[in-house]
Structure 1
Amino acid sequence: MVVLNKIYTKTGDAGETALGNGSRVAKHSLRVESYGTVDELNATVGMARLHATGDIDKQLSMIQNDLFDLGADLCRPDMEKDGESEYPVLRMSEGQIDRLESELDAMTKAVAPLKSFILPGGSALAAHLHLCRTVARRAERLSVELGTVESINPVGVKYLNRLSDWFFQASRIANDNGKDDVLWVPGANR
């Protein structure tokens, strides 16, 4: 359980922050950029939820919780020392990916196959979900880059990859199962 008695600590005033293992790094480090972008993604999901109802809202709520798990995973370096921690280290699991894939399969059955690229837009919910998709892709790129220089849980990268696909299909569901998708017309304004 997290207990926050005071919101400001002043420990980051010199441009450093603490990671989950207690070590301190620059706030502009690639690890902080990675989990910071996951936090930004979570905020965009919160904005999308303002327009969501029913199953989509319930699924987005679960995604928000997963994104906190992912942020906790990314802020904890030294995966090889997980067993030495005095408390269990939170890592993303394949089960979280399995859930996304199951939801993706159901959404894919509900929409017609694509015959054109889709422009972000349509309904308000679809537009917000497209924004979520692009922030998820950025979080994925940063996490992949982080994985080239430091040890990370590869399940987190895989989760972000599925999640961006999830947002894409969910945007189509939000556009009346794809009927209100805004299609790209190549060269339309030449």
Structure 2
Amino acid sequence: MAKIYTKKGDTGHTQVYLEKTERLIKSDEILTVYGDLDELNSNIGLLISVSKPPNPLLSTIQNALFEVGFAISATTSLTIEDVAAIEDEIDRLSTKLPPQRAFILPGGTVSASHSHICRAVCRRAERSLVALSEKHQIPAVIMQFINRLSDYFFILARYENATNGVEDVEKISR
């Protein structure tokens, strides 16, 4: 039986597969992006587990996030059509929502709250990608995909609340 641990990372370094295999310190910006994407993917898995009925787009997004990681490693199969699919879903869900008249705070149903967590983690991953893009080439489609994805999670949270008869949690003016 193969063991999951290799002990090679015990010194704070790990191997990554970029255009060529490299050994990087675990605080490298590339690994920060990988970690943020992994956290986002894990939170999407949690959102899937609480969503009723199941949302098949979320599984597609999970797979697409691996393509974002692959893009950092120099290859990806993500296309502008993947961005367009998210935009189409944002537009579809938006037509079923009341107009937004105030800032919305995270909350409402469990699934809406988890969607807000996904949005926040997605935005952090985007900031990490932007920082990484200052030193490494990141395909434009990746930046578009991640940016649209945070919008999707915001609209999804609103939709989850609306379809469950729960009003958005609006920021109270002082």
- TM-score in terms of structure 2 length: 0.91
Residue 57 of structure 1 aligns with which residue? Answer: 55
Q: Kindly, what percent of the aligned residue pairs are identical?
A: 37
2:145 paired with 1:162: no
2:45 paired with 1:46: yes
Task: Please state whether the residue corresponding to 2:65 is helix, strand or coil.
Answer: helix
Offset from partner CA, 1:45-68 (integer Å, 9 cap, x none) = 1111121133x5211111111112
Residue 131 of structure 2 aligns with which residue? Answer: 145
Aligned length: 171
| 5+ long unaligned stretches in structure 2 | none
Offset from partner CA, 1:54-111 (integer Å, 9 cap, x none) = 3x5211111111112212222x1xx4xxxxxxxxx33432121111111111011111
* Aligned partner letter, 2:155: Q
Alignment of 1:87-102 (within 5 A): 89-102=75-88
In 2, distance between residues paired with 1:130 and 1:145? 23
- RMSD of the TM alignment (CA)? 1.8
Task: Please state whether the residue corresponding to 2:138 is helix, strand or coil.
Answer: coil
2:8 paired with 1:11: yes
Q: Give 1:10 deviation, angstroms.
A: 1.7
In 2, distance between residues paired with 1:107 and 1:158? 19
Q: Give 1:134 deviation, angstroms.
A: 0.3
In 1, distance between residues paired with 2:141 and 2:124? 16
In 2, distance between residues paired with 1:127 and 1:8? 34
Q: Give 1:179 deviation, angstroms.
A: 5.2
In 2, distance between residues paired with 1:181 and 1:12? 44
* Aligned partner letter, 2:60: M
Residue 85 of structure 1 aligns with which residue? Answer: none
In 2, distance between residues paired with 1:116 and 1:151? 38
* Aligned partner letter, 1:33: T
Task: Please state whether the residue corresponding to 1:18 is helix, strand or coil.
Answer: strand
**1:20 aligns with one of 17, 20, 24:** 17
Structure 1 runs (4+) deviating above 6 angstroms are none
Query: In 2 relative to 1, CA 152–51 (structure 1 residues): closer, same or farther, beyond 3 Å?
Result: same
Residue pair 2:123, 2:150 contacting (<8 A) in 1 also: yes
In 2, distance between residues paired with 1:162 and 1:100? 7
Residue pair 2:108, 2:166 contacting (<8 A) in 1 also: no
Residue 168 of structure 2 aligns with which residue? Answer: 181
In 2, distance between residues paired with 1:17 and 1:10? 10
In 1, distance between residues paired with 2:44 and 2:129? 19
* Aligned partner letter, 2:45: G
**2:100 aligns with one of 86, 111, 114:** 114
Q: Give 1:154 deviation, angstroms.
A: 2.2
Residue 66 of structure 2 aligns with which residue? Answer: 68
